[in-house]
Structure 1
């Protein structure tokens, strides 16, 4: 009986260095100072939250009680999805264990969420939208998480978190996670905008694009024109301009 040769598995070397998120943060800051270590730890916490949310979304259609509305309305007047609440709870749970974040402010909460056990030493605040575009979930379209990290200013003794209303340039990090065919984390700490893609086999976000920029000219624009008449006139004028110059 003739022997059947087993198919060969050809291993391909990666075309790029497998640069992880934490390593990239240190390289961008060119420092191993305490602040650099804090920022690396914070970004790793965001990455952990993203992995948990990504896993849940990938099985949402197979699990009971994941899709649909809760019957509640958030501070923006929007109907709350079950995944909104799940993702919000994930961020809270992940950052409770960080020791670095004292407060979290989310679209799904009327007031900032305080973590008393972190507040004596945690001088950072996370502002985030746990699931942006959650109305897309039931139809299996892309959704995302948006985040901003800021340092606390003052003691916030009255618990009103007034220092959250700061200029954007006071952010120490910002970005978003896109949950689609792959899960991508895009972030900036003021040294360019960088893209990481989640490798499920490694459970790690790996650098996939560095220093991305919006092109000066492009053939495509994207907006929800169903809200056209709700926009300010200057925005409507811009969209009319785009229509004329495609």
Structure 2
């Protein structure tokens, strides 16, 4: 039976009369409202003038902007206009944008993750991170562990929001008839038994040895040290990969590699890796660069890139072990 709890009821119960929590709840509710509009826009696609083609511009992070990138950013900005926010950081903006200096929170977001998939009708999403406003420090300079809330919306066969308010992970699905989100999974825990890994195998020759070692352990199947046959997944959409891991388990790897521009990975720390790591840990999983816990990292720039390995805690720990101590490469540790 589907829970009758709506997202609005959930955020209201969380906030109570606390001023900081009320600001967090207002931000989450704003992202929910924006995502409903974005979902409708994506659903209509070319019928709404959305082609998935390049917008003719390069965003501040060096990526080609698609028409829906720009529209999604505009929709989110409108929704956040009434939210008390000290600073705002978007993938589509060059620098942090100051807001109300008295506001208790700052917000970072990726308006449309995976936009390169939109013209092929693949899953895309919105990612957001909510943190305390900096007191005297530069905005968005805190470690990921300082986050108050994080979430992402998946625009797939169903539109769903994954949310943590710092006390577990809940999943809400959009009831299109009522234009509201309803709770479908409470306090999600990532399964550890799933034998799946997600990585772009075409880059094998560029990977560091620890990543090759882990993948080769998986590919060896029942004849290898992990004594289990693994399946490989690769959707090339961070939100889709994260959602699958939350439901089914497994591990996702977007490591650094030897190609030009990939030495520090490609995903953005502030508004991709930080919120995903917060969600993964709140669901009993882990997130690492291979050598460092993602939530222990503090951004030096809002578009800073970072390697990201996330998912079931046993697999994340095994990959980090291979990075930090190559001696146990042939051990039977892990599942």
TM-score tier by shorter-chain length is 0.7 to 0.9
Show the counterpart of 1:20: 6
Question: Secondary structure at the residue paired with 2:197?
Answer: coil
Alignment partner, residue 213 of structure 2: 237
Q: Quick check: 1:28–1:191 contact (8 Å CA) kept in 2?
A: no
Distance verdict in 2 for CA 1:37–1:71, change over 3 Å? same
CA displacement at 1:231 relative to structure 2: 3.9
2-structure distance, mates of 1:132, 1:199:
22
Give distance in 2, aligned partners of 1:88 and 1:231: 33
Count, aligned residues? 222
Choose which of 114, 120, 123 in structure 2 pairs with 1:139: 120
More displaced stretch, 46-55 vs 65-74: 65-74
Match of 1:194 among 162, 166, 170: 170
1:163 to 1:113, Cα distance in 2 relative to 1, 3 A: closer
Gaps of 5+ in 2: 222-229, 231-335
- Which whole-Å deviations, capped at 9, do the CAs of 1:197-238 have from their partners, x for residues lacking one? 000011001000011121112033323223434444333332
Q: 1:71 to 1:175 in 2, by over 3 A?
A: same
Partner of residue 114 from structure 1, selected from 86, 89, 98: 98
Q: Write the deviation string for residues 145-202 of structure 1: whole angstroms up to 9, x where unpaired.
A: 111001111256xxxxx23021111000011110000100001111111100000011
- Aligned with 1:171 (options 143, 147, 161): 147
Contact 2:113 2:124 in 1 (8 A): yes
| Structure 2 partner of 1:208 | 184
Query: TM-score of the superposition, structure 1-length normalised?
Result: 0.82
In structure 1, the partner of 2:252 is none
- Give, in whole Å, the separation in 2 of the partners of 1:228 and 1:73: 29
**In the TM superposition, what is the alpha-carbon distance from 1:16 to its structure 2 partner?**
3.5
Give CA deviations for 1:7-40 in whole Å, capped at 9, x if unaligned: xxxxxxxx243101132234456x4322332222
Q: 2:212 and 2:56 mapped to 1: Cα distance?
A: 33
Task: Work out the CA distance in 1 between the residues paired with 2:207 and 2:42.
Answer: 31
8 Å contact from structure 2 (residues 57, 64) kept in 1: yes
State the alpha-carbon separation in 2 of the partners of residues 83 and 110 from structure 1: 18
Question: Which protein, 1 or 2, shows the higher relative CO under an 8 Å CA cutoff with sep ≥ 6?
Answer: 2
Of the two, which has the highest radius of gyration? 1
| CA spacing shift, 1:238–1:19, aligned 2, 3 Å | same
Q: What is the alpha-carbon distance in structure 1 between the residues aligned to residue 43 and residue 50 of structure 2?
A: 14
RMSD between superposed Cα atoms in Å: 2.0
Alignment map for 1:1-80 (pairs within 5 Å): 15-28=1-14, 31-64=16-49, 66-80=51-65
Contact 2:14 2:21 in 1 (8 A): no
For residues 17 and 208 of structure 2, what CA distance do their matches in structure 1 show? 46
